[in-house]
Amino acid sequence: MRVVVPFAAETPKTRLESVLSPAERSAFARAMLADVLRAIVRAGHEPAVVSTAPLDLAALETPGEVAAAASLTVDDRPLTEAVNARLPTDDGADPVAVVMADLALATPDALEALTTAAADVAIAPGRGGGTNALVVDHPAFRVDYHGLSYLDHRGIAREIGATLETVDSFRLGSDIDEPADLVEVLVHGRESDRAPAVLREFGFELERRDGRVAAVRDGGPTA
C-alpha cells in the first residue's frame, strides 16, 4: 500500500522548543521520520514522504534498503491540502494510507492493524483527538487536519456514507508533540530505533520520582 508520510522539514516540532534547540528539534524530527519509514518498509509498504522542503533521505540514519524504498516529493502547501492532493479520487483506485512522521513508537505490527482494517476509512487517533494515521479507500473522503481532527474525520465519513473503523493502538496513538511525550520515546522506543538514541545522545534519561517518571537532561527536569 502507498503510505504518504507528511513531513514539516523546516522548523519542525516547535512545541518542543522549551527543551530542544532548533538544530536538536530538526535532528530529532529526522530520527523519528527514519523510525517511521523503517516500520512502514518492514510492514511491506512503500513510504512516500511529502516534505515542505528538500530532504536527503539517504542521509537519514536508517538501513539503506529503507531509504531506497522511500520516495520524496516536495510540496509546500499546508498539510491538509498536501494530503488531499494524494487521496484516491476514483472508485476502484488503490487505498492510500497517511502516517505522520512523529509516530516514534510505530511498529510494523501496529501499522498492519491499520492497513488491514476492513472499512472505507480507518483511523488511528492520537491522544487529544488528532488523526495520527489513517487509510482512505473511498473516492470522496478528504481530510481536515488540526484541532479535533479525529472527530471531524468521523463526521466527514458519515456525511459521505463511508464506513469507518477506529484502530485502537497505543503505538500509533502516541505522537510526540510535547516535552512530556519524550518519556514515551525513552520508555517504549526499541533498541534499534533512532529517536531514543538521539534523545540519549542529547543527554536525556529517565528519572523515577515520587511514583512517576520524567525525562530529565543534565540533572534537571524537562518533562
Ligand X SMILES: C[C@H](OP(=O)(O)O)C(=O)O
Dihedral of alpha carbons 183, 185, 188, 190, sign: negative
Residue 106 sits in the site that holds ligand GTP (CB under 6 A): no
Q: Interface with ligand GTP includes 96 (CB under 6 A)?
A: no
7 binds ligand GTP (CB under 6 A): yes
Tracing cell 487509510 back to the chain, one arrives at 135
Is the Cβ of residue 112 or residue 177 nearer to ligand GTP in the bound state?
A: 177
130 or 189: CB nearest ligand X: 130
Question: Smallest Cα–Cα separation from 100: which of 7, 1, 204?
Answer: 7
Q: Is 48 in the site for ligand GTP (CB under 6 A)?
A: no
Task: State which residue, 15 or 158, has the beta carbon closest to ligand X.
Answer: 15
What's the residue count for the chain? Answer: 223
- 50: partner contacted, choices ligand X, ligand GTP, none (Cβ within 5-8 A by kind): ligand GTP
Stretch that binds ligand GTP, among 3-11, 64-72, 166-174, 182-190 (CB under 6 A): 3-11
From the number of C-beta atoms within 10 Å of its C-beta (0-12, 13-18, 19+), residue 58 rates as exposed
Q: Which of 40, 57, 101, 157 binds ligand GTP (CB under 6 A)?
A: 101
Cα gap 142→84, rounded to integer Å: 6
Q: Which does 12 bind (CB under 5 to 8 A by kind): ligand GTP, ligand X, none?
A: ligand GTP
Q: Name the minimum Å distance from CB 45 to ligand X.
A: 20
- Give the ranges where the chain is alpha helix by DSSP (H): 22-42, 64-69, 79-84, 108-115, 149-160, 170-173, 182-188, 194-201
Supply 2's cell numbers: 502507498
* Inter-residue contact 45 to 2 (CB < 8 Å): yes
Pick between residue 137 and residue 175 the one whose CB is nearest to ligand GTP. 175
- Neighbouring C-beta atoms of residue 216, cutoff 10 Å: 18
Sites of contact with ligand X (CB under 6 A):
79, 126, 130-131, 145-146, 149, 177
Question: Interface with ligand GTP includes 13 (CB under 6 A)?
Answer: yes
How far, in Å, CA of 150 to CA of 73, rounded?
A: 26
Q: Which does 78 bind (CB under 5 to 8 A by kind): ligand GTP, ligand X, none?
A: ligand GTP
The residues binding ligand GTP (CB under 6 A) are 6-8, 12-15, 50, 52, 75, 78-79, 82, 100-102, 177
